[in-house]
Structure 1
Amino acid sequence: MSYNSKDTVIIKGIDKPVLRIALGTWAIGGWMWGGPDDDNAIKTIHKAIDNGINMIDTAPVYGFGHSEEVVGKALQGKRDKIVIATKVALNWTDDKEKVFRDTRPERIRQEIEDSLKRLKTDYIDLYQIHWPDDKTPIEQTAIELNKLHKEGKIKAIGVSNFSVQQMEAIRQYTDLASIQPPYNLFEREIEKDILPYAKKHDLAALCYGPLCRGLLSGKMTKDRVFNGDDLRKSDPKFSAANFENYLAATEELKAFAKDNYNKSLLALAIRWVLDQYQGNIPLWGARKPEQIEGIQDALGWSLSEQDLKTIDDILNKHIKEPISPEFMAPPSR
């Protein structure tokens, strides 16, 4: 399956163009998503590749290694065609009850070896610091990442959930290729400074949560119940006090997408992220093959300036005080 040049982006340090929609595999790990389903997960990865996706984003903490293992298994015989983005610097207790930030050089060294083994590869295309660690000097972290780059174990370095100040600090010691912030129609904090910084320094932006934990899928209803360790139980947007307002916004957005473009709300939500910056790469989270449907619908068209204004008016009408994704931040070490 081929796409035009506007649908792809070059990430510094990586030798192949990347489709501007990547597969996100947090849910595939099972943790905080109701448990794993490996058979469906592998079928999902294969279907994503069949639909033109050539970048897969994962992390050790997604299922405490399980997501990486599933990705590694699914990519056997396909590795050379795929850009693998994984992460480093989230540690956890032996009982897996607590996750915390840890960018110590010895932790990075352990994690890279573990990730390479799980992913069944000898190099990582894009290696990202998952969360900043204020207990470890940034210079020590950067030096260790530079060593991995010189050893050929990683091709490019990125950061996730970093502020502009933190990005400036690490760029004193190493080159950055990308950032990974939360970004969607409902969570737009990065527009203040992080997105302009990415544009200024030509950083790819792997935008996680473009469907806002399913709110923008077009399939959520007010009677939806979240069970077990589902992270939406702790997301204020899904509380009774706020859920109704967000759903009202999605219903109007759904009608707008249908009436103006004959598109789904899901396609509109992804297209909106794509149109904010040519370097944006929304992470399409999926754990079942059918959840890959619709990727093509988000590509090959654009929203007009008037459309963007109308969308903002819809959001302002229903959501008076937008809620940030800060609830997801793990504690410091």
Structure 2
Amino acid sequence: MEVASHMEYVKLPGTDMTSSALALGTWPIGGALWGGTDEQKSLRTLQRAFDSGFTCIDTANDYGYGKAQELVGRAVKQAGNRDRILLSDKCAINWTQDGSLYRDGSRARLTEEIDLALKRLQTDYIDIFHVHWPDPSTPMAETAEAMRQIKESGRIRAVGVSNFTVDQIAAFEQVCPVDVIQPPFNLFEQQTLTSLEPVLEGRDIAVMTYSALCRGLLSTAAPQDKDRDIDVRSMDPKFQSPHMEHYQQAVQALDTLARERFDKRVIHLALRWLIDRGETHLPIWAARDPEQLNVVSELWDFQIDDDTMREIDRIIAQHIGESFGPEGFMAPPLASEL
């Protein structure tokens, strides 16, 4: 891994791409389920990310119904750095006239989405294009064939799948090879990536992961009450009693550990833990405010040793035990379920 003064860089296995050790996530920038968006602040956040060494930006068509893509496209164009930026985008989500999201992995939708994404992002290719959620109402072969054809057309460099199970990845790969997988993964949500070990064993495949700070739960030792009722956290059982109290206890214990061993805070520990985990190649950290990125410069002067890794596991087991991932409350419904 190459080391810079303010960022580390990593080669993504199975690809010819090199990325910053963290990718910037843009779901909050899109505004939907995050209390709205401030365009100028969002553009400043993206510019701060570039200045901090981020070279991968992750977005999706359903982040603000295309708003996040448009802002990313504007920021990259203003910075003039497209040749140095990896754009990671997602597809297979549609919405009704009233804005209700639903999964749509049809060939027609994916064909429409790649054209819209290229227009909004102001580019003629996307580096990594993920199927955001599997769509059981569409034959997997149809979704995979559409992705294969999009890649063969040169409009994308790599095919990704997000929130897929082992069996779903196997079915997809009967038609189209998968270059990148993107499951949720953070200190409190480890089980989904663990379940994908059969896919990773013996393979050169890149692993991007989302929800680095568990929707803000790992960003500070203080209680996370602000705006909880108006954004995606209102759907997350972790932010509801009695679970919230258990997670707060774990966060406070992790914050104490970070202070005592590294003179850091829980946010540094949570992000460095992701970087130092061998099975994670590119964690996605979402931000919506430039000041949130100030912490980036404080991540590169320490590493988490094996003993601290074990102590982290002990703290989580003590306060939480078995956890649960975001699939149950974040997955868009099928069209038939609306």
The alignment's TM-score, normalised by the length of structure 2, stands at 0.92
Amino acid at match of 1:84: L
Give the structure 2 partner of residue 318 of structure 1: 319
Give SS of 1:212's match.
coil
Structure 1 gaps, min length 5? none
1:297-312 maps to which residues of 2 (within 5 A)? Answer: 297-299=298-300, 301-312=302-313
Seen in structure 2, the aligned counterparts of structure 1 residues 47 and 172 have a Cα distance that, compared at 3 Å, is same
Equivalents in 2 of 1:78, 1:210: separation in Å? 25
Give the structure 1 partner of residue 92 of structure 2: 89
1:101-140 maps to which residues of 2 (within 5 A)? Answer: 101-140=103-142
Equivalents in 1 of 2:54, 2:301: separation in Å? 15
1:48-59 maps to which residues of 2 (within 5 A)? Answer: 48-59=49-60
Give SS of 2:242's match.
helix
Quote the offset at 1:327 in angstroms.
1.3
Give SS of 1:167's match.
helix
Amino acid at match of 1:205: V
1:1-333 maps to which residues of 2 (within 5 A)? Answer: 3=4, 7-11=8-12, 15-76=16-77, 77-96=80-99, 98-195=100-197, 197-198=199-200, 200-218=202-220, 220-221=222-223, 224-228=226-230, 230-277=231-278, 279-299=280-300, 301-325=302-326, 326-333=328-335
Give SS of 2:127's match.
strand
Q: Percent identity?
A: 39
Check conservation: 1:9, 1:278, Cα contact below 8 A. Answer: no
Quote the offset at 1:2 in angstroms.
5.7
Give SS of 2:295's match.
coil
Check conservation: 2:15, 2:179, Cα contact below 8 A. Answer: no
Quote the offset at 1:10 in angstroms.
2.5
Equivalents in 2 of 1:16, 1:168: separation in Å? 24
Amino acid at match of 2:294: E
Question: Which sits farther off after the overlay, 170-179 or 277-286?
Answer: 277-286
Amino acid at match of 1:43: R
Quote the offset at 1:14 in angstroms.
5.1
Amino acid at match of 2:289: K
Give SS of 1:310's match.
helix
Quote the offset at 1:320 in angstroms.
3.4
Seen in structure 2, the aligned counterparts of structure 1 residues 206 and 285 have a Cα distance that, compared at 3 Å, is same
Seen in structure 2, the aligned counterparts of structure 1 residues 214 and 160 have a Cα distance that, compared at 3 Å, is same
Give SS of 1:162's match.
coil
Quote the offset at 1:208 in angstroms.
0.6
Structure 2 gaps, min length 5? none
Equivalents in 1 of 2:234, 2:45: separation in Å? 25
Equivalents in 1 of 2:274, 2:181: separation in Å? 15
Equivalents in 2 of 1:224, 1:33: separation in Å? 11
Give SS of 1:156's match.
strand
Cα distance per residue 1:239-287 (max 9 Å; x no partner): 1211111111101100101110112211110111222225421111101
Check conservation: 1:199, 1:277, Cα contact below 8 A. Answer: no
Give SS of 1:240's match.
coil
Amino acid at match of 2:141: E
Give SS of 1:284's match.
strand
Give SS of 2:298's match.
helix
Give SS of 2:102's match.
strand
Equivalents in 2 of 1:137, 1:220: separation in Å? 46
Check conservation: 1:2, 1:52, Cα contact below 8 A. Answer: no
The alignment's TM-score, normalised by the length of structure 1, stands at 0.93
Quote the offset at 1:195 in angstroms.
4.3
Amino acid at match of 2:112: Q
Equivalents in 1 of 2:225, 2:290: separation in Å? 25
Quote the offset at 1:81 in angstroms.
1.1
Q: How many residues align?
A: 330
Seen in structure 2, the aligned counterparts of structure 1 residues 222 and 112 have a Cα distance that, compared at 3 Å, is closer
Equivalents in 2 of 1:36, 1:199: separation in Å? 40
Question: Which sits farther off after the overlay, 273-282 or 258-267?
Answer: 273-282
Question: Which sits farther off after the overlay, 235-244 or 20-29?
Answer: 235-244
Check conservation: 2:159, 2:177, Cα contact below 8 A. Answer: yes
Check conservation: 2:221, 2:248, Cα contact below 8 A. Answer: no
Equivalents in 1 of 2:144, 2:227: separation in Å? 43
Cα distance per residue 1:204-248 (max 9 Å; x no partner): 2211111001110015416545233x1111111111211111111
